[in-house]
Chains A and B, each alone.
Chain A
Amino acid sequence: MIQYFLNRLLQTIPVLFGVIVITFVLMYIIPGDPVVSMVGERYNEETIQRLREDMHLDDPLFIQFFRYVGNVVRGNFGNSFITGEPVINLIMEKFPNTMMLAVCAMFFAILFGLTAGILTSIRPGSFIDRGIMVLALAGISAPVFWVGLILILVVGVMLRWLPPTGFGGIEYLILPALTLGLRSAAYLARLTRATMLDVMSQDYIRTARSKKLSEWKIYLQHAFPNTLIPVITVIGTDFGSYLSGAVLTESIFGWPGIGRLALEAIMKRDFPVIQGTVLFMAIMFVLMNVLVDMLYGVVDPRIRLERSGK
């Protein structure tokens, strides 16, 4: 198992290197000039030239690239062009906020998604099934931006149940987490329902029923664990994307996370911050995939045995 884990980690190195190369090349292909964001309106040409030299922007591209890769290997993501602060500090400042939002959004998604999926699969075609599936379809189709604004207006402004936006205690977390987790919840509900219906038609479920086991026991102990492989895949992928920042949700709710940091950096052509955040997002995403891979073995003994070569 450990051998497998280490192998999977080693396989991520070329992926991350690819991310570094692509991000770096894109930075220099897209039009715009980071110096423009730094100098205001009354600069003189000497200032522009001095800043370009300070930031090594006039060096040949391959020298800039190897310098950057060398620094990244040593754990140095560089300093922000705009504020001069180390990029790693900026990322570490934002990451706890992003993590908090991601965990909460995924909690909502799992709570609502799995519950709805199991409930609807109990009596397919019933009023509850149809009602929840319509809601799930709406949840998948509704744009995040729209959902966020509706929640702000209804819950925050009209009902005054929660602060519309902002950052602080748990009360500030609920609306952005609901907004971010809604799509995953809807998708998980549909996926769980479909997989549960498939599993419920299997022979071993018939056997369990013939043993007169209670329906809840059959659903939760025998059927549900067998739906987990696709469900874990979706949860892992979505959680990975949440950890790499949710630009729209963070912008609407004024949530200071990685997504907004990246967006601001792109607008200002703050190259070190863009490169740092993109690489960090990639690392999070890749790590989540490795974790999901490992979890397959936990939930399915067949995979575990296959990996250990038995």
Chain B
Amino acid sequence: MFRPIRILILSLLFLGCVKEIDYKTLTTAFSTDIRGFDPAFATDIRTGKIISLVYDNLVRFDNEMNLVPALAQQWSVDLTGRKYTFIIRNNVHFHDGSLLTVFDIAKSFQRILDPNTASPQTWLLDRIIGAKDFMIGKEDSLKGLIISNDSTIVIKLDKPFAPFIQYLAMPAVAIINIKENESLTQTPSGSGPWKLERWERDGEIILSRNEKYWDNHPKTERMRIRILSEVMTQSAEFEAGSLDILEVPQGEMEYWKQYSYNQLDVDELNIWYIGMNCSRSPFNDVRLRRAMNYAIDREKIIHILLDSSATLANGPLPPQLLHEVGEMHYEYNPNRAIQLLKEAGFDNDLHTELYVAGGSEMFHVLEALQSDWEKVGIIVDIKRSDWNVFKTSVREGKPDLYYLDWFADYPDGENFLYPLFHSKESMTKRNRFSDPEIDIIIEKIQQLTNRVERQQLIATANRMVADAAPWVFLWHSKTTYLTREWISGFQPSSIFNANRYMNITKDPPR
């Protein structure tokens, strides 16, 4: 009667010859699937990462976050800061073998702005002359996009805009093979260093090396990106040797310290913060907002709860984007917080709510903040909801307080100032902060081309925002990666679309 059990055990043992490690394929994991391969809809980081592997842009970021030539072998900006001239490589082929031309570039840009595409990424190109009319169907071509000859394309903006060149490195403005634009969601049509071999939605994405790539080829033949939504599953796969690279989840650092896997820490260009609704009582009072900042012991939280994998925030900008980091604006000082609360007229306990997205791994951190605030008389109830409800609430300006993060699209202080603190953005999408003086400075930063002057203004804006305290500035987190012993050459970048997995090798341990 034990025969069936015996057969099962034997078959398990037989299957126990689990596949040998495939040294030709680099394997990593994402927690959720991508949206598709259409650059026009690359609105999330994961999709952006994949787009950057299978497509090319005019320019791109290298691992040190420098802007370097890509499809454009060189570019220049005229003195007005409005005219960009790009000289295009003439030896680039799409994955289907057809030659990439200046016409493909022009069509790719037009496609983003075309109302029929309905791309949410039009903001990247809508400063080109004629873009507004083109977007509403008034014009059938973009006046500011000029093909000068077979290898030169000129872009004219309606006014100077310094971050524009960085916009062109964003995944959404990757260059596509326009002939095949019907099937872009499922099948990419680019010229990047990796080609799509197979996409099993919610399962895995398999890429193979583009042997005809115009630049250096990736060192591994294939790349497999598995979609594993559970953190524990990813960890188990890494331990079993089925994943080569693991992004260590928050709170698991202690566990992984017992192993001797290669560890790489990356200071991300990000900020974690508590947004405070500045347009209504009680958080329209700057003294209360500053008290919120003084009341929390961030250093202790970083050390104890975050395994020291973050750096203190001194304003919204990460230190990598500032040429000098000034004195800490808000040291832990509960007495100062109590004094400010008294000055603001909060003699009794203040009750408020903090909105959090349900899947937050950092819930223990929020409880620590809650406890610190309670000590100075600010009673905060944590209100959890799912991500969509949370984001909708923030957009509608419902929460008094909300816990959120911001990751850079491109390595520029402007990317932390305009979308988060310019009144045009903040008043409609975020915590309803408005300061005309800060608005003027941000607009100047957008237009300035003089690097030194621009950096000084960015530092000034950072100080002014810190002083106005529209947020509780928490920290800039690090991401820790572990790699298996057979992996070498992995150098993750601080900017998401710079990681192209080009120099990684996977060799049997000697």
Q: List residues of A whose CB falls within 8 A of some B CB.
A: 31-34, 36-45, 47, 50-51, 54, 82-85, 90, 93-94, 97, 111, 115, 119, 149, 152-153, 155-157, 159-167, 170-171, 174, 251-257, 260-261, 264, 267-269
Contact = CB atoms under 8 A, between A and B. Distances in A.
B230 A251 contact: yes
Contacts of B227: 254, 256
B124 to A, nearest CB: 8
Contacts of B259: none
Given A115-B4, A165-B237, A32 B202 contact: no
A2 to B, nearest CB: 38
Interface of B: 1, 4, 12-13, 15-16, 18-19, 32-33, 35-36, 41, 43-44, 115, 118, 120-123, 185-186, 200-204, 226-230, 232-233, 236-237, 239-240, 242, 385-389, 391-393, 395, 406, 409, 419, 428-429
A47 B228 contact: no
B389 A32 contact: yes
B123 A157 contact: no
Given A164-B233, A165-B236, A42 B18 contact: no
Given A41-B419, A42-B123, A253 B35 contact: no
A129 to B, nearest CB: 13
A13 B388 CA distance: 33
Closest A-B pairs by Cβ, 3 of them: A40-B43, A256-B203, A256-B202
A39 B16 contact: no
Contacts of B13: 161
B388 A36 contact: yes
A264 B15 contact: no
Given A153-B236, A165-B233, A254-B229, A260 B202 contact: yes
B469 to A, nearest CB: 22
A50 B419 contact: no
Given A253-B233, A264-B33, A164 B118 contact: no
Contacts of A115: 4
Contacts of A165: 228, 233, 236-237, 242
A162 to B, nearest CB: 6
A31 B392 contact: yes
Contacts, number: 144
11 contacts: A32-B386, A33-B392, A39-B120, A41-B43, A42-B123, A152-B233, A156-B240, A162-B18, A164-B237, A254-B227, A261-B202
A232 B387 CA distance: 41
B392 A119 contact: no
Contact of A163 (B4, B19, B391): B19
A164 to B, nearest CB: 5
Nearest to B391: A36
B112 to A, nearest CB: 12
Nearest to A145: B230
Contacts of B1: 119
A261 B201 CA distance: 9
Contacts of B36: 83
Given A39-B43, A85-B185, A162-B16, A267 B236 contact: no
A155 B13 CA distance: 11
Given A152-B233, A161-B13, A162-B18, A264 B202 contact: yes
A84 B185 contact: yes
Given A31-B389, A94-B202, 5 more contacts: A41-B406, A44-B122, A97-B203, A253-B233, A254-B233
B240 A43 contact: no
A32 B15 contact: no
B35 A83 contact: yes
A82 B388 contact: no
A45 B424 CA distance: 11
A251 B359 CA distance: 15
B44 A40 contact: yes
Contacts of B16: 159-162
Contacts of A82: 35
A36 B233 contact: no
Given A32-B392, A83-B185, A161-B15, A167 B387 contact: no
Given A44-B123, A93-B201, A260-B229, A37 B388 contact: yes
A289 to B, nearest CB: 28
Contact of B392 (A36, A44, A47, A84): A36
Given A42-B123, A54-B118, A162 B12 contact: yes
A255 B230 CA distance: 11
